[in-house]
Amino acid sequence: MLSVNEDFQPGQSYPLGATPYPHGVNFSVYSKHCDGLDLLLFDSAEDAKPARVIHLDPSRNHRTFHYWHAFVPDIGPGQIYAYRAYGPHEPAQGHRYDCNKVLLDPYGRAVAVPRGYDREAARRPGDNAATAMKSVVVALGHYDWEDDAPPDHSSAKSVIYEMHLAGFTRHPSSGVTSEKRGTYAGLIEKIPYLQDLGVTAVELLPVFQFDPQEAPPGLTNYWGYNPVSFFAPHCGYASCTDPQGVLDEFRDMVKALHRAGIEVILDVVYNHTAEAGDGGATLCFKGLDNEGYYILDKDDKALYADFSGTGNTLNANHAVVRRLILDSLRYWAQEMHVDGFRFDLASVLSRDIEGHVVANPPVLWDIETDPILSGTKLIAEAWDASGLYQVGSFFGDHWNEWNGRFRDDVRAFFKGDRGYVEDLAARFLASPDIYGHQEREPEQSINFVTCHDGFTLNDLVSYDEKHNWANGEENLDGADDNRSWNCGVEGETDDVAVQHLRNRQIKNFFTTNLLALGVPMILMGDEARRTQHGNNNPYCHDSELTWFDWRMIEKHAGLHRFVKKLIHFRLSLPVDDQGLSLSDLLHQTPVHWHGVRLDEPDTAHNSHSLAFTIEGVRYWWHLMFSAHSGPLTFELPAVPSEKATRWTRLIDTHMDSPEDFCDPAQAPIVDGLKYRVEPRSVVVLLADRKEA
């Protein structure tokens, strides 16, 4: 053991983390209640004992207020390090110090995971040095961003593609170089596919370093919603093992996506960590300042408030945690060039240090008003796991919201549930019943039918019930309210009629989502009918169950073409209305409502049809939606033009490819003023003002 001497200068409390300088590294970490702190320096991640132990001594100016710090000369990037904290182990008082546990740096920019990493060793008594994750010193300024610039797409010109970074390329059919499958580098190889599809942004499931062992026995935490670091890219997604190389590979990916005109949005988890609750692992925050980093039960501080459904809740409005979150966001925006963030269970951030919901949460004010984040896209999942639901009422002006009502109501309408005609109309027009009173822009509604959490689009039309038995939780996990319909057969089938119906329903969902006001988000692989075989919560499966099987693109080439055409058409639409509030837009763009008869919308409880005409900037639109089991003949309005331009058929989801989507310039003319809409179909007619 090497004690402090003159060679180890006091260092500085700022910046937090490990900061390399020409002649050494400054270390600084926050810990309010600990009695002593050791900085551990390791030669390798697998070492059972540190090569050097530097005891930070307050009497030698290694502590400033609640910050412990030291400057260690003659080390630099690549140095592996961690901490041990000494202090009271009094769970009833909120303190869980355990000097046997090796702790990550909360501000560490890279993480080294030993080959024998063992989450259980971080949970049970005893020393865990040999099996603990450790932090790594890295250099940030050397990277050459070249001419990188954010694509900076307006929300009105955005289509988001939600994907699991590894699952996108891990399947052998991806065509990605074998050693790069499931990695940041592997994603780079598939950028041409994303460009061809037409999406403008990828929204990546969590890429912060997470604990893959937080899962049922024999399984793995695949989704990654269990962070151990808010600064380090997940090293398991890199094709290299060098910690510095992990950072550079992530930045290579961002730079390549930007050059392709595609933004990078990260799904970020600031509501909880992988340490779980009482009896969970001690990896970092518990061992440094349990009472500060987590919301504890007000009556028994040995217990954790759980608004996240994971065993703990990050104390986001504690001053130190607020700073951590802001510093993390700024880091990813400035150093990693990320374009935006989707906040998992964002409503947790509305809770104060005792867990109460407050009107003006400090951390959300910080994010809302931060000048560095002002140019990024901020998306809230505006609910939490304890019933707080803030869709339409989430804090601030900068935020967009995942519109869960869009998902639920659109699913219910096409399933054939009663009473959803008016809801469908509202969702298509960016939910004025939810957002209109706030004078919001329509793009503040992020519209989606499916996401990682739940059925894929294929499974939504193939299963009435969830089939989560492989998760090891007796099929009790995952949502029960899916508003799904199997089209007559549960699961896979060769029945041609059922397959045609399922394909039609999928096209109905895509058409509604990609033409509605708001920002559409689609799920990885839905364009090729990716299936999870009825599992609506496959968070613990890193296998072909969750990977994108690229052979499905050829199998469902017609659907893939339909989606691609639809995306490109949406992005080709003019945006003269950009900048108007939702209420202004709807006021200035006449919408005429119909049923099967003109000007007679049928909003009865048992109605399953809707039609409306929109006088748009470039096109007049006439849209007909039917969830009826039989055909319906709709009356068509005369084209509102001084010239006799007729309606042309852009989309009819009942038709097979390529007739289901016709390019506007080649779209067939509709004869007469009636149109037969086949069972469970959507039809979109256009009249081009430039040709009028």
Q: What share of the chain is helix, strand, coil (3-state, %, to 5)?
A: 30, 20, 50
Q: Return the closest-CA partner of residue 302 out of 95, 122, 120.
A: 95
The C-alpha atoms of residue 422 and residue 604 are separated, in whole angstroms, by 9
CB 402 within 8 A of CB 381: yes
How far is Cα 404 from Cα 556, in angstroms, rounded to an integer? 28
**Rounded Cα gap, residues 315 and 288, in angstroms:** 14
The catalytic residue positions are: 344, 381
Angle at 336 between CA 332 and CA 339, to 5 degrees: 70
Cα 515 to Cα 160: distance, rounded to the nearest angstrom: 14
Quote the tokens at residue 134. 């450790």
Task: Please provide residue 475's backbone torsions phi and psi, each rounded to the nearest 5 degrees.
Answer: 65, 20
Query: Exposure pattern of 296-324 as b/e (b: 16+ CB <10 Å)?
Result: bbeeebeebbbbbebbbbbbbbbebbbeb
The token pair that represents 204 in the structure block: 């990546």
Q: Dig out the tokens for 213 from the structure.
A: 């062992």
For residue 667, what is the DSSP state? P
Q: For the chain, state the CA radius of gyration.
A: 27
CA distances from 238 to 183, 229, 498, 604, 642 (A): 5, 16, 42, 55, 61
Residue position matching structure tokens 């970490």:
29
Q: How many CB atoms lie within 10 A of CB 385?
A: 16
Preceding amide of 15 cis, omega within 30: yes
Nearest 5 degrees, angle CA 234-CA 235-CA 241? 170
Q: Are 520 and 403 a contacting pair, CB within 8 Å?
A: no
